[in-house]
Amino acid sequence: MAMVNEWIEAATQGVELLAVMVMVGFIAVGTVRWLLEMPSGAVRAYERYRLMLARSLLLGLELLVAADIIRTLTIELTLVNLATLGLLVVLRTVLGWTLTVEVEGRWPWQAGKSAEVGERSHEKA
């Protein structure tokens, strides 16, 4: 059983490392891209940069939540750890919603702009 726990802990750390690598990697790529696009259009470059940063943070948060769930449910299942996991999931969910509102201008459960355009075209037909 100890060997299984070690493998699960290693997998959890791998998912956490992947989350950090995704966030740092996309931030680095986005920053270079932003710097290259700045001379041709600062406003457009900034909007694309902001979108890339927000998406990388959202993806990283989702991966970190997955790692926390794996760790808590498979290795350290205690009432305190379960409550801590619940709090972390709530906090990261609120952060995700906040990033979605900031970038897309809508709540995550609201239809996106592309869906609204599609609905309007069906109404006209």
- As given in the structure block, the two tokens for residue 95 are 């952060």
Q: Cα 38 to the chain's mean position, in Å?
A: 26
Residue 12: the pLDDT is 92
Nearest-5° angle of CA 78, CA 84, CA 89?
125
Single out the residue of 15, 89, 12, 100 nearest to residue 57, CA to CA.
100
Domain range for 16: 2-124
Q: Return the SS3 of 55.
A: helix
The total number of structural domains in the chain stands at 1
* 36 Cβ contact list (under 8 Å, min separation 6): none
Q: What is the pTM of this model?
A: 0.72
> What pLDDT sits at residue 123?
52
Give the ranges where the chain is alpha helix by DSSP (H): 2-37, 42-74, 79-104, 113-124
Provide Rg for the chain, Cα atoms. 19
At residue 81, the pLDDT reads 84
Mean pLDDT, the chain cut into blocks of 10 residues (125 residues total): 84 94 94 92 89 88 88 82 87 83 78 55 49
What was the pLDDT predicted at 121?
46
